[in-house]
Amino acid sequence: MLFTLRPLVLESQGLAAAFRSMAEKIKETYEQDVVVQVDERAVEALELGKQAVVFYLADEGVNNARKHPSRAHLAALEDDARRFELIEIEDDGIGFDTSAVDASYESRGSLGMINLRERLSW
């Protein structure tokens, strides 16, 4: 389980390789495609601890997207030398209203959005 949360490829080859490895595992396990697009300069500028946080966020988001559509797109783009600008996860699903999810915190069956927001506070 620990290797899933912080895979060795992340430490040995970096975030871009970890994203690609995650996409390959999802393809092998679930027969679903994850397209990975990475700005190498952006991810290389992040220290390893922050790369682990970004990996966790992307992994959580892609796995949430994977539950419904047949294809997900993960993009890690743009670094202005001070911060990571964007992780974008798109899928073929119909989407949902995030404010409605937030409003029904006590009755919902998932903590995915809260987990993602807490991780973003680094």
Residue-wise pLDDT tens digits, 70-120: 667 766 655 555 555 557 777 777 777 777 777 776 666 666 777 777 766
Q: What is the pLDDT of residue 21?
A: 93
Per-residue burial over 16-44, b if 16 or more Cβ lie within 10 Å, else e, is bbbbbbbbeebeeeeebebebebbeebbe
Q: What is the pLDDT of residue 2?
A: 56
- Cα three-residue angle 76-40-24, rounded to 5 degrees: 65
Q: In what helix (H) or strand (E) does residue 30 lie, and over which residues does it extend?
A: helix 15-30
Residue-wise pLDDT tens digits, 44-64: 778 888 888 888 888 888 887
pTM score, two decimals? 0.72
| Contact yes or no for 87/55 (Cβ under 8 A) | no
Q: What is the pLDDT of residue 79?
A: 53
| Contact yes or no for 42/79 (Cβ under 8 A) | yes
